[in-house]
């Protein structure tokens, strides 16, 4: 492995450590440490309070460090001339690049030991860890790393030099951020496409949500990136043929991605059921067989619309995938529509029966749907409510582990391996 | 005949690097590819090895694949720069399917003992050339294409390497060497392919080439007459 990988490993300790220490301190304060109001933290769950921020170190590393490791491994051979020797061995380009991707992914797993070791620390403090949501979070960051590796591999194979490949890779990542921004303003297809960018994908895993379409699209993109890489690594194949093969691969990938967007299965693995209504509500909603349509008179950038989407509609779609949703707005910000008497209304229609509400909370949305569907609301049970896992303990020993022990292990490991290899 | 090159053409935009290049390579011979700078020697080797696409033409190796018949050692590369020479040689044996029984002999012949532990990226030009030659000579293919085998070597090293190449040729290894120093080529090679402006100007022994040039004389005179 390259020097860049050792730098990535070194950086992962302090990066994850800083995130973990800061989030664990906040969690402890909200849980009542140092005289803050005890009980405030009852609704705090470790996933959003500790693990999502701690693992965000992986997101940073995947964007700013991993591309250089991947480019070094893929483009290094080309620049040094080793590729011209290796290509004569007869191994297919696809096998070569897949092996390199597997090595990179294995290297990434080693780097992920840093945030994963925070779980062990957390358990020693007496904290709660819910394996399904942690597995989901880890899966999200592995897929994100896979996307980075395949993108970097593709860019490294298109270009002759490391620097050009790095610029293209970072440019592509910045492009996905622009797409997210554009999607949040424009809505529609832009918003839908923005939902599949790496940042948006990771955000869903951070909430403990596993969506089949997201996982499949990530895998398709990974395979496509590696496919482009293998096509362009075949130096002995004429450029026009490589262009045709890339175009065919691109069309196939686009078709597969488009088909995947229609897949609706998803699983909420969060202990707090962040992405779901209560089980009783889900059973009641599943009992509504007439078509449900909702017309929302809120502009794209109206905070109420964002609230409605995150608190209620995203959960509703998981129970009733065929819900018809229509947004009505003349502008994207809605500022000058406030005086319009119909602005802010949310109309619910079940089998021709209609009702209107302006509230955007999950409870209000459910109430409106039950009312228009003529379904008796389920009795709320105390058992259904997630009470949280407050933990008023300071993160002792985390600084030593992440700022001293982790770098020391990898500096000495790197020196030892270097001496053994030479 | 080990392999035959037929009508190989390669263009870089408007420049014709190779035009209808055809010749034969016989089993066990030391064939010299000679020609002035820019004649297309490296391009020809890269096309033959399949690391550069040719526009037209073919390499015929009977019922074998080209990659099973020839191995190409480029000039001026520093492969796996952070790895040691020993690692590169072991990689050649392990990954490129090289002949492990030649390992110790080659280390001795090419005087690699003292640089075995040194990273390839830190080697001098001559040391790197010797390491590259060792990589090439370790490979299993019956024909070895070496681009400028004496580039960067001093007189003593060049002589030692010529001797080592002769030993491997005597064992039946076919060597196809691109050499721009005519004197070196004349000392080592049995036959020659003379390339100029991307075209084969002649193929054969010194005497056969001299006949083509309508005269007699050494290889240098023939070279000057035909290019």
* Domain identity same for A130 and A153: yes
Q: Does residue A148 contact residue A96 with C-beta atoms inside 8 Å?
A: no
Is A293 in the same domain as A409?
no
- Per residue in A107-129, pLDDT (tens digit) is 999 999 999 999 999 999 999 99
- Ramachandran region of residue B40, left (φ > 0), alpha (ψ -120 to 50) or beta? left
Residues A379, A261 share a domain: no
Give the tens place of pLDDT for each residue, B73-94.
999 999 999 899 999 999 999 9
Same domain, A231 and A292: no
Query: For chain A, what is the mean pLDDT?
Result: 90
Q: Residues with Cβ < 8 Å from B152, sequence gap 6 or more? A: B124, B125, B126, B128, B129
Residue B208: its pLDDT value, please? Answer: 87
Report the Cα–Cα distance between both ends of chain A, in Å, rounded. 13
Does A287 lie in the same domain as A178?
no
Q: Is the pLDDT of residue B182 over 90?
A: no
Work out the minimum CA distance from A112 to partner chain B, whole angstroms: 25
Residues A7 and A123 in one domain: yes
* CATH fold for the domain made of B3-226: Rossmann fold (3.40.50)
Dihedral of the alpha carbons of A256, A262, A263, A264, in degrees to the nearest 10: 160
Span A186-202, mean pLDDT? 87
Same domain, A215 and A298: no
pLDDT at A335: 67
User: What are the boundaries of each domain within chain B?
Assistant: 3-226
Q: How many domains does chain A have?
A: 2
| Contacts A–B by Cβ distance under 8 A | 68
Which CATH number is A343's domain given? 3.40.30.10
Could you tell me if B154 lies within 8 Å of chain A, comparing CB atoms? no
- pLDDT (0 to 100) of residue A405: 95
Q: Do B87 and A86 touch (CB under 8 A)?
A: no
Residues A205 and A64 in one domain: yes
Q: Is the pLDDT of residue A168 over 60?
A: yes
Residues A311 and A213 in one domain: no
Kindly state whether residues A147 and A80 are assigned to the same domain: yes
Confidence of residue B221 (pLDDT cuts 50, 70, 90): confident
- Whether residue A254 sits in one domain with residue A328: no
**What residue in B sits closest to A417 (Cα-Cα)?**
B83
A399 within some domain:
yes
Residues A36-91: tens digit of each pLDDT: 555 555 568 899 999 999 999 999 999 999 999 999 998 888 889 999 999 998 88
Task: Choose among B51, B68, B84: nearest Cβ to A235.
Answer: B51
Q: Taking the C-alpha atoms of B193, B160, B29 and B37 in order, what is their torsion angle to the nearest 10 degrees?
A: -10
Q: Does residue A61 contact residue A11 with C-beta atoms inside 8 Å? A: yes
Residue A241 counted as domain residue: yes
- Please state whether the predicted TM-score (pTM) of the whole model is above 0.95: no
Q: Is residue A273 part of a domain?
A: no
Q: Which of A3, A85, A238 sits opposite B79 (nearest CB)?
A: A85
User: How confident is the model over B25-69, as pLDDT tens digits?
Assistant: 999 999 999 998 899 999 999 999 999 999 999 999 989 999 999
List, as one string, the DSSP characters of A339-356.
TSTTTT-EEEEETTEEEE
Residues A156 and A301 in one domain: no
Q: Is the pLDDT of residue A334 over 70?
A: no
Note down the domain range covering A310.
279-384
């Amino acid at each position: 492995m390259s020097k860049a990988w050792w730098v990535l490993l070194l950086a992962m300790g302090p990066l994850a450590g800083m995130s973990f220490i800061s989030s664990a301190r906040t969690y402890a304060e909200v849980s009542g440490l140092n005289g803050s109001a005890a009980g405030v933290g009852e609704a705090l769950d470790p996933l959003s309070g500790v693990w999502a921020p701690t693992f965000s170190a992986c997101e940073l590393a995947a964007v700013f460090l991993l591309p250089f490791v991947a480019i070094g491994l893929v483009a290094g051979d080309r620049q040094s001339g080793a590729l011209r020797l290796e290509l004569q061995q007869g191994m297919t380009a696809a096998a070569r690049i897949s092996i390199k991707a597997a090595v990179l992914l294995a290297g990434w797993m080693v780097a992920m030991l840093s945030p994963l070791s925070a779980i062990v620390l957390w358990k020693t403090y007496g904290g709660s860890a819910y394996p399904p949501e942690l597995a989901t979070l880890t899966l999200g960051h592995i897929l994100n790393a896979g996307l980075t590796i395949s993108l970097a591999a593709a860019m490294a194979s298109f270009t002759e030099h490391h620097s050009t490949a790095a610029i293209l890779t970072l440019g592509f990542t910045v492009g996905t951020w622009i797409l997210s921004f554009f999607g949040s303003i424009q809505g529609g297809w832009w918003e839908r496409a923005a939902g599949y960018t790496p940042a948006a994908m990771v955000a869903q895993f951070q909430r403990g949500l596993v969506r089949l379409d997201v996982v499949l699209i990530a895998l398709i993109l990974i395979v496509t990136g590696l496919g482009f890489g293998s096509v362009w690594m075949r130096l002995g194949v004429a450029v026009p043929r490589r262009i045709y093969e890339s175009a065919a691969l691109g069309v196939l990938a686009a078709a597969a991605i488009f088909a995947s967007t229609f897949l609706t299965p998803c699983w909420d693995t969060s202990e707090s059921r962040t992405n779901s209504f209560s089980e009783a509500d889900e059973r009641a909603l599943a009992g509504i067989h007439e078509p449900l349509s909702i017309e929302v008179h809120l502009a794209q950038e109206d905070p109420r619309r964002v609230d409605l989407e995150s608190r209620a509609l995203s959960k509703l779609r998981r129970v009733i995938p065929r819900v018809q949703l229509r947004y009505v707005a003349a502008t994207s910000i809605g500022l000058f529509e406030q005086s319009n008497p119909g602005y802010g209304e949310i109309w619910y229609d079940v089998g021709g029966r209609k009702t209107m509400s302006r509230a955007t909370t999950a409870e209000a949305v459910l109430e409106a749907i039950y009312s228009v569907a003529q379904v008796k609301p389920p009795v709320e049970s105390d058992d259904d409510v997630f009470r949280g896992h407050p933990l008023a303990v300071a993160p002792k020993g985390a600084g030593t582990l992440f700022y001293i022990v982790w770098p020391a292990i990898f500096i000495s490991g790197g020196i030892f391996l270097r001496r053994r290899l030479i | 005949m080990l392999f035959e090159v037929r009508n190989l053409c390669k263009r870089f935009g408007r420049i014709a690097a190779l035009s209808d290049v055809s010749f034969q390579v016989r089993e066990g011979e030391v064939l010299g590819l000679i020609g002035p700078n820019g004649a297309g020697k490296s391009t020809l080797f890269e096309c033959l090895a399949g690391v550069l696409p040719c526009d037209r033409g073919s390499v015929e190796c009977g019922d074998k694949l080209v990659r099973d018949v020839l191995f190409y050692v480029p000039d001026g590369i520093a492969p796996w720069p952070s790895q040691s020479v020993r690692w590169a040689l072991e990689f050649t044996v392990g990954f490129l399917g090289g002949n492990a029984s030649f390992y110790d002999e080659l280390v001795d012949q090419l005087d690699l003992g003292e640089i075995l532990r040194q990273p390839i990226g830190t080697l001098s030009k001559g040391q790197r050339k010797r390491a590259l030659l060792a990589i090439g000579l370790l490979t299993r293919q019956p024909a070895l294409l070496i681009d400028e085998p004496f580039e960067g070597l001093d007189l003593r090293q060049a002589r030692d390497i010529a001797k080592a190449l002769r030993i491997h040729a005597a064992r039946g290894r076919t060597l196809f060497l691109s050499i721009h120093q005519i004197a070196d080529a004349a000392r080592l090679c049995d036959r020659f392919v003379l390339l100029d402006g991307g075209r084969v100007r002649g193929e054969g022994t010194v005497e056969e080439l001299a006949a083509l040039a309508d005269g007699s004389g050494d290889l240098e005179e023939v070279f000057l007459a035909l290019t």
